[in-house]
Amino acid sequence: MTERVPVLRIGEVLLVSLQVGLEDRTVLDLQDDLAARIVETGATGVVIDITAVEIVDSFVGRMLATTASLSRVLGAGTVVVGMRPAVAITLVELGLSLGGVRTALTLEKGLALLAGPVSRSAAPS
């Protein structure tokens, strides 16, 4: 049985903190859970906290982009926060642009981005 990633609500925003290994089943469950919570709560934003992610590969990069696209289609802007320099370097080296995914250094800055006037757009920060 795979571990589920909790999806927490903070006002109009859903917070996903990746603290477990990202296996295929975990990611699919997360995407299903997140989509259901966006619809259920009417959330306007999603923050994906990857502070605990030390190693990334093309699978993780695609997962972040797909999850952000899924959220956007359901009307919630997405911000990825807590990216370590090594993770950013690896994503660039792998050629993964994470198109349409906004990023912020901290949770506080990510929440501020979502509260701004372009919260539902895919404009990079």
CATH 3.40.50.150 fits 7-115, yes or no: no
Q: What is the mean pLDDT of the chain?
A: 86
Tell me what pLDDT residue 34 has. Answer: 96
For 113, list phi and psi in degrees, rounded to 5.
-60, -45
CA angle 109, 82, 37 (to 5 degrees): 80
**Type of residue at 41:** T
The structure's pTM equals 0.86
b or e along 34-68 (b: 16 or more beta carbons within 10 Å of the residue's beta carbon)?
bbebbeeeebbbbbbbbbebeebeeebbebbbebb
Tell me what pLDDT residue 43 has. Answer: 96
Tell me what pLDDT residue 117 has. Answer: 63
Extract the residue ranges of the chain whose pLDDT is less than 70: 1-2, 117-125
Tell me what pLDDT residue 123 has. Answer: 43
> Which residues does 33 contact at the CB level (< 8 Å), separation at least 6?
4, 5, 7
